[in-house]
């Protein structure tokens, strides 16, 4: 198979802390032999397990980039045994542009896995993770949030897997991450996701939705940083004991968890993230965006539960995800 054109300018197998770049050749009008430079940090101290932590798969999600920047500065080789690979802005062109998708090729990185070594810029990034970085890792964390158009209750998540031993290992890692909420996630659009690629390689994988609305907060960054440190302890890479707070279990058992807009207009939320709602409760109204005096359209939820996600911009479009409700499955313990 074609070699991936990305070159990493830091070593993966040399002890110490190394900051550098994944350099992806990208010839274009303003730079004939130019490159996309994706920041990477590799921290190694002897033999041991490898953790791969990523953010910025979607370029408008800031919780992962901010928290991983902090960890890359703070974590020292003496703190660990094994290796930690940090890529805070996976889809770097999208991150630079403040967009979910890449301005170069329109690529949504988390829908283009496993990628192609001879494909578009975004497909090449996906292929490098699939064939170079993920195979090195024992435990993989990918930090997501709602970006500019959604906001989430902060949760870590795992998927239902065919291999029940792997599923149990992922769940144990999710509990160790110890976000305020811990979710069994139903994906509505899983084709081409990084998650599937990582899980298919048999890795312990945790993903998150840690907020959104196009910014990080002190709370969301704190959750991400503590979660990453807890995962390093859980994996035996750090010796410091994990710190556990309260976490509640959530489940999204079916498509009736989602409410989609069927009108465009002015969005009026009637519930907040974390609110408990009964089946049939009205959670939002959509008003006319171009006249007064018209009745709004009311939106209700199809099941009782907790509001875990909501639409963010003040205007909403026909087909947008308006709200998500999940079932509360009770307290989750860190261990
Ligand atoms: Zn995302």
* Residue 57 CA to ligand 1 centre (angstroms): 6
* Residue 14 CA to ligand 1 centre (angstroms): 32
* Residue 18 CA to ligand 1 centre (angstroms): 27
* Residue 141 CA to ligand 1 centre (angstroms): 13
Residue 249 DSSP SS3: strand
Burial 207-220 (b: 16+ CB within 10 A, else e): bbbbbbbbebbeeb
* Residue 305 CA to ligand 1 centre (angstroms): 23
* Residue 156 CA to ligand 1 centre (angstroms): 13
Tokens representing 196?
A: 């599937």
- φ and ψ at 194, to 5 degrees? -55, -40
Q: Which three-class secondary structure string do you get for 210-229? A: CCECCECCHHHHHHHHHHHH
* Residue 228 CA to ligand 1 centre (angstroms): 17
Tokens representing 281?
A: 């409760």
Q: Of 93, 194, 77, 106, which Cα lies nearest the Cα of 143? A: 194
Please state, as a whole number, how many other Cβ atoms lie within 10 Å of the Cβ of residue 283.
Answer: 21
Tokens representing 18?
A: 């190394």
* Residue 186 CA to ligand 1 centre (angstroms): 15
Residue 222 CB contacts under 8 Å (≥ 6 apart), including other chains: none
Report the C-alpha gap between 132 and 70 in whole angstroms: 25
Give me the residues paired with residue 301 across strands.
none
Report the C-alpha gap between 138 and 147 in whole angstroms: 28
pLDDT truncated to tens, each residue of the chain (335 aa)? Answer: 899 999 999 999 999 999 999 999 999 999 999 999 999 999 999 999 999 999 999 999 999 999 999 999 999 999 999 999 999 999 999 999 999 999 999 999 999 999 999 999 999 999 999 999 999 999 999 999 999 999 999 999 999 888 999 999 999 999 999 999 999 876 666 789 999 999 999 999 999 999 999 999 999 999 999 999 999 999 999 999 999 999 999 999 889 999 999 999 999 999 999 999 999 999 999 999 999 999 999 999 999 999 999 999 999 999 999 999 999 999 998 66
| β-pair type (181-184, 247-251) | parallel
* Residue 65 CA to ligand 1 centre (angstroms): 12
* Residue 123 CA to ligand 1 centre (angstroms): 16
* Residue 276 CA to ligand 1 centre (angstroms): 25
* Residue 58 CA to ligand 1 centre (angstroms): 5
Instruction: Give pTM, 2 decimals.
Output: 0.96
* Residue 15 CA to ligand 1 centre (angstroms): 32
């Amino acid at each position: 198979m074609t070699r991936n054109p990305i070159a990493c300018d830091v070593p993966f197998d040399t002890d110490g802390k190394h900051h550098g770049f994944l350099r992806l050749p990208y010839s274009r009008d303003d730079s004939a032999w130019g490159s996309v430079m994706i920041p990477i940090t590799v921290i190694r101290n002897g033999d041991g397990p490898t953790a791969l932590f990523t953010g910025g798969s979607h370029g408008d999600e800031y919780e992962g980039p901010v928290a991983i920047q902090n960890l890359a500065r703070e974590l020292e080789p003496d703190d660990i045994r094994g290796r930690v690979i940090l890529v805070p802005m996976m889809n770097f062109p999208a991150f630079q542009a403040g967009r979910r998708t890449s301005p170069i090729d329109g690529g949504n990185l988390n829908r283009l896995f496993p990628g192609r070594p001879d494909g578009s810029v975004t497909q090449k990034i996906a292929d490098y993770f699939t064939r170079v970085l993920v195979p090195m890792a024992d435990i993989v964390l990918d930090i997501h949030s709602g970006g500019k158009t959604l906001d989430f209750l902060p949760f870590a998540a795992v998927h239902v897997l065919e291999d029940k031993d792997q599923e149990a290992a992922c769940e144990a890692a999710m509990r160790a991450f110890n976000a305020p909420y811990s979710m069994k996630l139903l994906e509505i659009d899983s084709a081409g996701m990084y998650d599937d690629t990582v899980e298919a390689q048999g890795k312990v994988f945790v993903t998150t939705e840690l907020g959104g609305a196009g910014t990080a907060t002190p709370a969301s960054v704190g959750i991400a940083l503590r979660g990453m440190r807890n995962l390093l302890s859980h994996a035996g890479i750090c010796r410091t004991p994990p710190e556990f707070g309260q976490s509640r279990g959530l489940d999204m058992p079916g498509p009736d968890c989602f409410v989609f807009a069927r009108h465009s207009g002015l969005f009026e939320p009637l519930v907040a993230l974390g609110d408990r709602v009964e089946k049939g409760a009205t959670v939002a109204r959509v008003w006319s965006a171009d006249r007064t005096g018209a009745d709004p359209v009311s939106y209700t939820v199809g099941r009782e539960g907790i509001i875990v996600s909501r639409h963010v911009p003040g205007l909403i479009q026909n087909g947008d995800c308006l709200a998500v409700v999940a079932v509360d499955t009770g307290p989750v313990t860190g261990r």
